[in-house]
A and B are shown apart, each in its own frame.
Chain A
Amino acid sequence: MSTITSSDALSAHVRGYAQAVRLHLAHLGQDVVDDLTDGLEADLTEAVLDEAAPPADGAGTQAFDLAARFGPADEYATELRTAAGLPPAPAGARAGRGPGRVIGEAWAGVSERWRSSWRPLTSTPGWTAFVEFARSLAPAWWILRGWVGAQVVMWPFGMSDVTLWPSSTGGQIVVIAAIVVSVQWGRGRWVPRWTWFPRANAVASVAAALLAIPMVIDVEADSRPVVADYYSGYDSGFDEGFNNALVSRGGPGNGPEVDGVWVDGVRVSNLFAYDAAGDPIRDVQLFDDRGRPVRTIGSDATWDTWSVPDVPGDWSFQPAIASDGRTRWNVYPLSAVPGEQVGVDDGNGDIHGPEEQGHPVPPTGVQPQEMPWPFLKAPTAIENGVADRDDPGATTPARPGSDHPASDPARDLVRPGERATSDSGTREPTLEATQAD
C-alpha cells in the first residue's frame, strides 16, 4: 500500500540520498562521480520497492528510511568507491574542500530533518493525492519557469517589459528558447553535468516560482491593453499599433481604468453614428447610462496622435466647442488635424477649457478635417418597430432638454448639425425589411 501511494515521497528521498552519496564522492571529479552513480536513483528505488513489495511487511515508513535500508550515505559511497577500485579522498582535500562540504552536509541534515518533521502530513493519502495532482501539472510549470527565466534574462537589457509575448523578434526568440530549455530540463534532458547544477537549478526554480507571482499579476493587469496593442498593430499596420501602445503607456494606469472606448479589445479613436435609415448623423452627443459623456479621447490622451484607416499620417483629434467655450469630446464624429501640424505648434500652450488638461490646437488657418466615414450608408437599416418597442424616446433625440436641467450641454452646442434631417421620418418605416449590405 505504502509503495504506491508514497511513490513521490520515495523518489524525493531517493534523490536526496543519491545526492548525499555523490557529495561524498565529489573528490573523484565530476566525470567519475557521474559514471559511478549513473542510474543510482533507479537502482535505489527498485531496491526499496522490491523490499517493500510484500504488503504484510508492515515496513511502510521504514521503507523510506533509506539510511536504515542502505546504511549511511557516506558508507554507501565508500563501498561504491572501494568496489570500483577508486582512491579515497586525500587527507588534505577534506580541509581544502571544507566550506563546501560542511555546507553540503549541513544542508543534507537540515533537509532530512525538515522532511521528517513533515512526515505526519506527507505520509497521508490526501497529501500523496495532492502531490500526484501537482506533479501532473509539472509541464505547465516548466513552461511558466521558462517564461519567467526569459523575463529575467531580458530584464537587464530592457528588451521587454514583463509581457506575456514580447513584441520584438529577439524577445520572442528568448522566450521560446527559455521555454524549450526549461521543458527539456524538466524532462531530464540537456541537463549540464556540473556538480553544482542540480542545486543551483533548484534554487533558481524556487526563485522563478516566487518571481512568477508578481510577474503573472503584472501581466494579468497589463493583458488587455497590451494584447490589444499588438493585435491592432498586426491588423492595422505598425503605426496604429505603435500609437496605441503610446496611448496605453501614457495612461494613468494599465488596465480597465484607462479612459476610452474599446471594441473587440482595440482602442477606438472615433465613433460614427447612422440613423435608422442608415444615413450618417453628424454631431451626435453620446452619454452613458449615468449621464457621463462618452469619450474616446480620454482627458489624459488629448495630446496623442492616431493613425486613421484610409488616411495616411498621424492625426490629432479635436473636440467640439460648446457655446460657453468649453470643449466637448463626446460629440461624434470627432474631426482631426494632421499630427505634425499641432506638434510644431505645441509651444504656444494655447489651452482651451479650464477643466481640461488642454488639447493640441492647430495653427491659425488649419481647419479640423472630418475623418472618412466607414460607410456612406450603414449596411443595415433598422425597422422602426424595433426602435419603438425598445425605447420610444430614442426616436425623438432632438428634445432632451425638456426633462434636463438648463445646464445640459446638449442644449447649447454650437454645432447642432443635421440631426433635424434625420428626425423627419422617424415615425414612419423608412426601409421595409431591406438588408442593405
Chain B
Amino acid sequence: MLSVDTTQLLKGVLDAAVLAVVEQEDGYGYDIVRRLRARGVESGEASVYGTLRRLYASGSLTSYVVPSEEGPHRKYYGITPHGREALKIQRKEWQEFAGTVAGLLGERNEAAR
C-alpha cells in the first residue's frame, strides 16, 4: 500500500529525478536506473526508459551512441540547455510543493523521499 503510494508520488517527479541524475553525468538507460536506486529512488526500469525517451523527444535530453567492446552499443543521454531550464523550474515547483505538504501534514518530512 505504502509502496504503491510512493510509486504514484514518484511518477510526478520522475522527470525531475531523471533530469537531475543526467545533469550530474551523462548515462545510458540502466546506468541511470542504477544511479537513481543508489540515491534511494526505486522506480520501475521501464518507467525510467520511457521517461528518457519522452524527455529526449521534448528536447530536454540529447543522446549519442557509444560503442561498447563486449556488448551492443550504448545510447547515452546528456542534458540540454532546455533540459536544465526545465529542471530548474521543476526543482522550484517541487520545493514549494514539498513545503506545502509538509506544512499540511504537520510533521517533518523527508522531501527527498
Q: Taking CB as reference atom, which chain B residue is nearest A82?
A: B50
- Return chain A residues, CB-CB under 8 Å to B44: 79
Cα distance A45–B70 when bound, in Å? 12
Q: Which residues of chain A from 5 to 53 have a CB within 8 Å of any chain B CB?
A: 35-36, 38-43, 45-47, 50
A188 at interface, CB cutoff 8 A: yes
Shortest distance in angstroms between A138's beta carbon and chain B's nearest beta carbon? 16
The answer to whether residues A36 and B30 also contact, given A42-B71, A79-B44, A83-B48 and a CB cut-off of 8 A, is no
Q: Which residues of chain B from 68 to 93 have a CB within 8 Å of any chain A CB?
A: 68, 71-75
Interface size classification for chain B: 20 to 34
A81 at interface, CB cutoff 8 A: yes
Cα distance A47–B75 when bound, in Å? 16
Q: Are B75 and A39 in contact (CB under 8 A)?
A: yes
Shortest distance in angstroms between B19's beta carbon and chain A's nearest beta carbon? 14
Cα distance A107–B73 when bound, in Å? 28
A interface residues, how many (CB within 8 angstroms): 24
- Return chain B residues, CB-CB under 8 Å to A40: 29, 49
B13 at interface, CB cutoff 8 A: no
Shortest distance in angstroms between B97's beta carbon and chain A's nearest beta carbon? 21
Select A83's contact among B33, B47, B71, B72, beta carbons within 8 Å: B47
Q: Are B72 and A79 in contact (CB under 8 A)?
A: no
Q: Are A39 and B50 in contact (CB under 8 A)?
A: no
Q: Are A47 and B72 in contact (CB under 8 A)?
A: no
B42 at interface, CB cutoff 8 A: no
Q: Which residues of chain A from 177 to 193 have a CB within 8 Å of any chain B CB?
A: 188
Cα distance A188–B65 when bound, in Å? 15
Q: Are B54 and A84 in contact (CB under 8 A)?
A: yes
Q: Are B53 and A36 in contact (CB under 8 A)?
A: yes
Shortest distance in angstroms between A60's beta carbon and chain B's nearest beta carbon? 21
A131 at interface, CB cutoff 8 A: no
Q: Are A35 and B53 in contact (CB under 8 A)?
A: yes
- Main SS of chain A's interface residues? helix
- Return chain B residues, CB-CB under 8 Å to A42: 28-30, 68, 71-72, 74
Q: Which residues of chain A from 218 to 235 have a CB within 8 Å of any chain B CB?
A: none
Select B45's contact among A43, A84, A85, beta carbons within 8 Å: A43
Q: Are A39 and B46 in contact (CB under 8 A)?
A: no
B62 at interface, CB cutoff 8 A: no
B39 at interface, CB cutoff 8 A: no
Select A41's contact among B28, B33, B72, B75, beta carbons within 8 Å: B72
- Kindly supply a per-residue 1/0 record for chain A positions 73-92, scoring 1 wherever the CB is within 8 Å of any chain B CB and 0 otherwise: 00011011111111000000
Select B51's contact among A35, A50, A84, beta carbons within 8 Å: A84
A70 at interface, CB cutoff 8 A: yes
The answer to whether residues A39 and B51 also contact, given A50-B34, A70-B45 and a CB cut-off of 8 A, is no
Q: Are B50 and A188 in contact (CB under 8 A)?
A: no
B98 at interface, CB cutoff 8 A: no
B14 at interface, CB cutoff 8 A: yes
Cα distance A80–B71 when bound, in Å? 23
- Return chain A residues, CB-CB under 8 Å to B48: 83
Q: Are A83 and B54 in contact (CB under 8 A)?
A: yes
- Return chain A residues, CB-CB under 8 Å to B51: 83-84
Q: Taking CB as reference atom, which chain B residue is nearest A70?
A: B45
Q: Taking CB as reference atom, which chain A residue is nearest B56?
A: A35
- Return chain B residues, CB-CB under 8 Å to A83: 14, 46-51, 53-54
- Kindly supply a per-residue 1/0 record for chain B positions 6-19, scoring 1 wherever the CB is within 8 Å of any chain A CB and 0 otherwise: 00000000100000
Q: Are B71 and A79 in contact (CB under 8 A)?
A: no
Shortest distance in angstroms between A261's beta carbon and chain B's nearest beta carbon? 56
Shortest distance in angstroms between A35's beta carbon and chain B's nearest beta carbon? 6
Q: Taking CB as reference atom, which chain A residue is nearest B73?
A: A39
Cα distance A81–B49 when bound, in Å? 9
Cα distance A79–B10 when bound, in Å? 14
- Return chain A residues, CB-CB under 8 Å to B28: 39, 42-43
Select A80's contact among B14, B46, B57, B74, beta carbons within 8 Å: B46
Cα distance A93–B74 when bound, in Å? 33
Q: Are B30 and A80 in contact (CB under 8 A)?
A: no
Q: List 25 A-B contacts (CB under 8 A).
A: A35-B53, A36-B50, A39-B28, A39-B73, A42-B71, A43-B29, A43-B33, A43-B45, A43-B49, A70-B46, A79-B46, A79-B50, A80-B46, A80-B47, A82-B47, A83-B48, A83-B49, A83-B50, A83-B53, A84-B51, A84-B53, A84-B54, A84-B57, A85-B50, A85-B54
Known interface pairs A43-B29, A50-B30, A84-B49; 10 further A-B residue pairs with C-beta atoms within 8 A, sorted by A's residue number: A36-B49, A39-B73, A42-B74, A47-B45, A70-B46, A76-B46, A79-B50, A84-B53, A85-B50, A86-B50
Q: Which residues of A contact B (CB under 8 A)?
A: 35-36, 38-43, 45-47, 50, 70, 76-77, 79-86, 188
